[in-house]
Amino acid sequence: MEENKLIENKKDKTLVMIIAGLSIVLVVLFIFFLVEKSNNRKHVAAIHQEKELLEQELTDLSSNYDNLKTTNDTLNEKLSAEQEKIATLLDEMKKFRDNSYAEINRYKKEIGTLKTVLRSYVVQIDSLNQLNQKLTAENTQVKQQISWVRERNNKLEKEQKNMKEVIARAGALTAENFVVVPINKKGKETSWKKCFQLRADFVIPKNITAKRGPRMIYLRITRPDSKVIAFSDKSFFKYQNASLTYSAKREIEYEGERLDPVSIYWPNDGSLVKGKYTAELFSDNENIGSTEFFLK
């Protein structure tokens, strides 16, 4: 009996020891589980924080790419391609479950590549901008030179035109001692009522710069009522891009020497009235003389 009791006591002690051992193992396992769970939470939180930082880096990187401006179409296409890469990477990160440092490291590597590419584009664009500024400055300088040359040419053309006008005026005929008188059939001066003709007398002075040869001189007489006395319905001549009516004309032969006197006659057609008249002489597109006279 006592022996059986001893055996049962030993069994009880062994069972207690086993149970105690198992309890200790369970406690250790539970503590390990809690520690592992805590570490896993810290691990996930760290990955999540890394992920948020990387997402912010990608957002900033995309903004930096947006701020790059260039007029180079090829470079713009490359910048657009890099922005598409950033957008794709952001979409991937939104689907990422915060459970892999390997993925985080991969994203870091790709972001690093994007930053390196960005720096290379910044250098290229800066070089292009400096080149554009240089070309713009050179273009401005060329424009200023062209403007100066154009202004100089215009000035020379104006001076040349003025010189031609001076030469033309110097070579034009002039009329001196210009008078108009009414005469009778005997060529004697008379009143306007007995006037048979109007005679315009003038002198062409010497002019060695004037061209030689035949010259047509037109006489234009204007009545007191501002009506021009016309030789006929077709008596017109060109003056300063306009057609003017003439009263009479005469062709002379000019050789540069003084012609004295020269007379042009207008036959009275009955259109004369009493009052003050104006008479003008024209030749070679120039007004070479004018005078006033009275018919009483």
127-177 pLDDT tens trace: 666 766 776 776 777 677 777 767 777 776 776 676 655 555 656 789 999
Cis amide leading into 261 (omega within 30): yes
52-95 pLDDT tens trace: 666 676 676 666 666 666 666 676 676 667 777 767 766 766 66
Q: What is the rounded distance in angstroms from the CA atom of residue 246 to the CA atom of residue 220?
A: 5
The token pair at 74 is 């090829």
The token pair at 7 is 């055996």
Strand, coil or helix: 98: coil
Considering only CA atoms, which of 124, 120, 118 is closest in space to residue 57?
118
Q: What is the rounded distance in angstroms from the CA atom of residue 110 to the CA atom of residue 278?
A: 99
- Compute how many other C-beta atoms are within 10 angstroms of the C-beta atom of residue 27: 10
Residue 251 confidence (pLDDT) above 80: yes
For 195-219, letters b (16+ CB in 10 Å) and e give: bbbbbbebebeebeebeeeebebbb
User: Which residues, 6 or more positions from 130, have their beta carbon under 8 angstroms from its beta carbon?
Assistant: none
212-240 pLDDT tens trace: 999 999 999 999 999 999 998 889 999 98
- Compute how many other C-beta atoms are within 10 angstroms of the C-beta atom of residue 64: 16
CB 119 within 8 A of CB 65: no
Considering only CA atoms, which of 238, 257, 249 is closest in space to residue 200?
249
SS3 content of the chain, % helix, strand, coil (to 5): 55, 25, 20
pLDDT > 70 in the chain, percent: 57
